[in-house]
Amino acid sequence: MTNNFRILVVDDEDSIRKRCVRLLSRQGYHVIGASSSLAALDLVQKEGEWFDLLLVDIRMPGMDGIHLMEKVKAQRQSIQVIIMTGHATVETAVKAMKKGAYDYLSKPFEMEELLHLVKKVVEIRSLQQEIKELRSQLKDSREPPFIFGNSEAMNRVMRFIEKVAPVDCNILIQGESGTGKGLAAKAIHARSRREDGPFVIADCAALSGTILESELFGHVKGAFTGAHVDREGYFQKADKGTLLLDEISEVPLDLQGKLLRAVQEQAVVKVGSAEPLRINARIIAATNRNLENLVAQGKFREDLFYRLNVVTLTMPALRDRREDIPLLARHFLKWYTARLNLDRVTLPDEIVAAVSIHDWPGNVRELENAIQRAVVMAENGVISLKDLFPSLLRKDSAPCNPSDPLHGKKSFQDMRREVVSNFTRQYLTRTLTDHNGNITQTAKAMGMRRTSLQRLIRQSGLNSRALKGLGNE
């Protein structure tokens, strides 16, 4: 970014001004010098959009550096200012910072000091530009744009999507909760010939059988109590577009026959009607359960399974593509920094390393929620471990004691499993307790589905019923 970064050096001392211009130019920056505040102000007024940084001497004939900074920032607040002073006092520095200076240099200063400060300003400007671009995306979207990652597992997913998206066939997407099945379905729709048509999501797990039938196929006026007008179902709304049947495994067995006819014949019969209604929708089904096992158990119709499973996409768990975790973490950091209108939040490398070794049982959704929480809770704009894993670092929890004589005898993988296992058990215990052992409320608070939470509770050896009555609710 250095060749696009523009600096104005303002100092009445020719030797210092020319030295700074020469040094910064050699680093690839675009640099101009001005010998007075009035000359600098004239340049800023003529080319106000041109400068990213002003390097200003605090004492100059006529208008001093702080007065110049105030006038410049009144025109363009985003210009950063570094004050140079040969009269460094605490009062001078505080005054300059309060007026809007990024930092100051005490004369005589080493050129390395100057380069270090300028580099930090360049990094801030780069981050601000990224945040600006993300904020522009927020105008048309309420959720983060989907980043698949650079791992081989996600490259296979991308190749699959690029291959099947243009082909108008039904698709079954499998994978654990939080792996991005819905976002993959959107990516398929966006790359298909139906991209200009509607993308409709039917959450089959959220509604009971009777209501689900009406939601899927629609109903006519008078079909049941409360049906005061005709209503379109999800199939009709998805006409000439794509219908995502999310959590397809939760559709009741007695409704699967009607769903089969709709998928097979591309026609629906509204509740309370006998007339079939033709529809033209591509069907994508998603599930976090093994449909073949459900077929074998008699809980899912075999003919419906084969109708939906023309081609299958399996979304990998986040723990199976750890190389994507730093990319995703930094992406969500930038996204939520922009969305929450925060100036700057950083994620130190050592925290990224800690994030990368966590198993993330809730997958990308859990990681996203953790980063969002950390962005909100970060002190002084720097995310710490307690912001990401608040339960792990409580005083009453000791997941890993480095002074333990067995500590150095355990392998890295064993220690990691121990830390993560303890963290998971403590987090579940506290969250379940806070919600009086209520699975639905706890799953909502953790950003997980009920089925995923129940599986995690079983794996952790907890009993949610035993936690009832211990919470605050």
CATH number where 285 lies: 3.40.50.300
Give φ, ψ of 31 to 5 degrees: -130, 140
Same domain, 193 and 263: yes
pLDDT at position 392: 54
Question: Over the range 95-128, which residues count as b (16 or more CB within 10 Å of their CB) and which as e?
Answer: ebeeebbbbbbeeebeeeebeebbeebbebbebb
pLDDT-flagged residues of the chain (< 50): 48, 139-142, 144, 393-407, 466-467, 469-473
Domain count, the chain: 3
59 is a domain residue: yes
Model confidence over 247-265: pLDDT tens digits? 999 999 989 999 999 999 9
Range of the domain at 288: 152-316
pLDDT at position 140: 46
Same domain, 217 and 345: no
pLDDT at position 338: 84
pLDDT at position 288: 94
145 is a domain residue: no
Cα gap 53→8, rounded to integer Å? 6
pLDDT at position 466: 47
List the beta bridge partners of residue 171. 284, 311
pTM here is 0.56
Among 284, 316, 348, the domain-final residue is 316
pLDDT at position 249: 93
Q: Are 304 and 263 in contact (CB under 8 A)?
A: yes
pLDDT at position 423: 74
How many other β-carbons are positioned within 10 Å of the β-carbon of residue 367?
21
Angle at 53 between CA 49 and CA 58, to 5 degrees: 120
Same domain, 332 and 443: yes
